[in-house]
């Protein structure tokens, strides 16, 4: 129970700080500063974090975005280490979150049914 609370608190903190870091620290990147982090899922030992993001740039090529994130991942992790109080900052694995696209498709299908 206490571990669940600690895990949720850490996920929430990482989510908030990642969004701030992406907005403030990467103004010159083509894609990274237009990202929005929606969810962070930590492993139980807090050694890895899956970071679910979407992009506000509808013209962005998702492969290019993922490549740019991969190039910036170490720097993002180092910046995060200075912002969060954790024994060790988890390894970040970025995953595109297509929930918004799926919701739009479902909405379109529902409109067609009516």
pTM of the model: 0.81
Residue 79 pLDDT grade (very low, low, confident, very high; cuts 50, 70, 90): very high
* Closest CA relative to residue 89, chosen from 73, 67, 70: 73
Tell me the pLDDT tens digit for each residue of 1-48.
568 899 999 999 999 999 999 888 887 777 777 788 999 999 999 999
Q: Are 95 and 52 in contact (CB under 8 A)?
A: yes
Inter-axis angle of helices 62-81 and 2-25, to 10 degrees? 110
Taken in order of first residue, the domains within the chain and their CATH numbers are: 2-113 (3.30.300.20)
How far apart CA 66 and CA 63 sit, in angstroms, is 5
């Amino acid at each position: 129970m206490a571990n669940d609370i600690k895990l949720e608190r850490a996920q929430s903190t990482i989510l908030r700080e990642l969004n701030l870091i992406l907005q403030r620290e990467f103004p010159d990147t083509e894609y990274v500063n237009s990202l929005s982090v929606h969810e962070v899922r930590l492993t139980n030992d807090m050694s890895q974090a899956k970071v679910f993001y979407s992009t506000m740039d509808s013209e962005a090529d998702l492969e290019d975005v993922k490549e740019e994130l991969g190039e910036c991942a170490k720097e993002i992790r180092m910046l995060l280490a200075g912002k969060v109080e954790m024994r060790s900052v988890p390894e970040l694995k970025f995953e595109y979150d297509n929930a918004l696209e799926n919701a739009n498709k479902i909405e379109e299908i529902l409109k067609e049914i009516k």
